[in-house]
């Protein structure tokens, strides 16, 4: 390109830096950024954001913060995406105080956090067991915006369940449905998983029957019924999975193996054969794994 007398512009350098960062070559990407500046081409926000993300992906948060500061020094104002990248990096590193401070800094620059900002913070707070603070942010969204989306509810639901606030989580789940938010199977799987753990099987079966379950939903139910020694219901669910052409995976293979170990060897073999026939799985390999 240069040999033909065509000078790369900021867009060209941005593409290269983005690709390098995605491949983990963040130092090389940073060196290219410096070369870009040396050639008199001023990087734009997209370029800097790619480098920010590259450092965050490698958990080099100090370097990422320096990139943000260098943007400002060179007169390239960070946008909400820039701050969200940095917030996400600190959340993944479980440095929530730093994440919250970055959000405050963003607001002080006149930028408004969006739903992604809040979702990142709420998710990060739940993962470090700071659910009360996560709930405060949720209420802040409800009061001042942006409005929580289905993902916001799902994150907080999971956080409440994990932190032992079962009743509170179920109230939030009901509110989510009453508010008319579209609930996807991921949300239902989280609720079903924790309802199973609370051994509320009658209610969870009603919820299960009202859904179009996926593999995760079925496996969660099968595991719980197996743990309760309700083999007839395990049999019903596994046969239902086979009838609906669900594939044999590590989870249901493990369940079938567990059944074999508690004296259900014939049934486990039957289920294995049915799965192999319906999904064209190489039965010889799985049979060896199950020792049938």
- Return the pLDDT at 143: 93
Instruction: Note the residue count of the chain.
Output: 292
Model confidence band, residue 250 (pLDDT cutoffs 50, 70, 90): low
Model confidence band, residue 115 (pLDDT cutoffs 50, 70, 90): very high
Distance CA 243, CA 136 (A): 46
Coil, strand or helix at 292: coil
- Return the pLDDT at 284: 38
133-192 tens-digit pLDDT: 999 999 999 999 899 999 999 999 999 999 999 999 999 999 898 888 888 999 999 999
- Return the pLDDT at 225: 85
Distance CA 179, CA 233 (A): 34
- Return the pLDDT at 5: 43
- Return the pLDDT at 226: 82
Weakest mean pLDDT among 45-59, 144-158, 162-176, 195-209: 195-209
H helix runs in 23-94, sequence order: 26-38, 45-57, 61-73, 80-92
Model confidence band, residue 288 (pLDDT cutoffs 50, 70, 90): very low
Question: Stretch 76-102: mean pLDDT, rounded?
Answer: 97
- Return the pLDDT at 261: 58
Q: Say if residue 146 is preceded by a cis peptide, omega within 30 of 0.
A: yes
Higher-scoring residue by pLDDT: 144, 9: 144
Distance CA 227, CA 235 (A): 13
Asked if the model's pLDDT at residue 111 lies above 50, the reply is yes
> Which among 75, 78, 74 is positioned nearest to 50, based on CA atoms?
78
- Return the pLDDT at 138: 96
Give the class (CATH, top level) of 1-111: mainly alpha
Output the average pLDDT for the chain.
85
Unique residue bearing structure tokens 């956080």: 159
């Amino acid at each position: 390109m240069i040999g033909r007398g065509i000078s790369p512009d900021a867009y060209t350098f941005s593409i290269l830096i983005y690709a390098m960062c995605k491949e983990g070559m963040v130092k090389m990407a940073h060196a290219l950024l410096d070369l870009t500046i040396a050639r008199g081409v001023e990087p734009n926000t997209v370029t800097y954001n790619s480098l920010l993300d590259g450092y965050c992906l490698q958990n080099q948060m100090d370097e990422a913060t320096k990139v943000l500061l260098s943007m400002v020094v060179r007169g390239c104002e960070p946008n909400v995406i820039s701050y969200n990248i940095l917030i996400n990096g600190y959340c993944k590193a479980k440095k929530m105080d730093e994440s919250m401070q970055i959000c405050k800094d963003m607001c002080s620059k006149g930028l408004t956090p969006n739903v992604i900002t809040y979702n990142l913070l709420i998710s990060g707070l739940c993962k470090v067991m700071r659910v009360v603070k996560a709930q405060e942010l949720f209420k802040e969204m409800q009061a001042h915006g942006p409005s929580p989306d289905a993902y916001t509810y799902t994150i907080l639901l999971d956080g409440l369940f994990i932190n032992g606030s079962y009743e509170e989580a179920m109230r939030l789940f009901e509110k989510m449905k009453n508010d008319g938010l579209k609930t996807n199977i991921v949300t239902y799987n989280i609720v079903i998983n924790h309802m199973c753990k609370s051994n509320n099987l009658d209610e969870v079966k009603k919820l299960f029957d009202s859904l179009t379950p996926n593999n995760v939903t079925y496996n969660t139910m099968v595991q719980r019924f197996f743990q309760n020694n309700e083999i007839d219901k395990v049999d019903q669910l596994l046969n239902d999975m086979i009838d609906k052409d669900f594939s044999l995976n590590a989870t249901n293979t493990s369940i079938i193996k567990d059944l074999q170990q508690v004296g259900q060897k014939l049934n486990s073999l039957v289920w294995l054969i049915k799965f192999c026939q319906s999904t064209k799985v190489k039965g010889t390999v799985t049979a060896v794994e199950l020792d049938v």
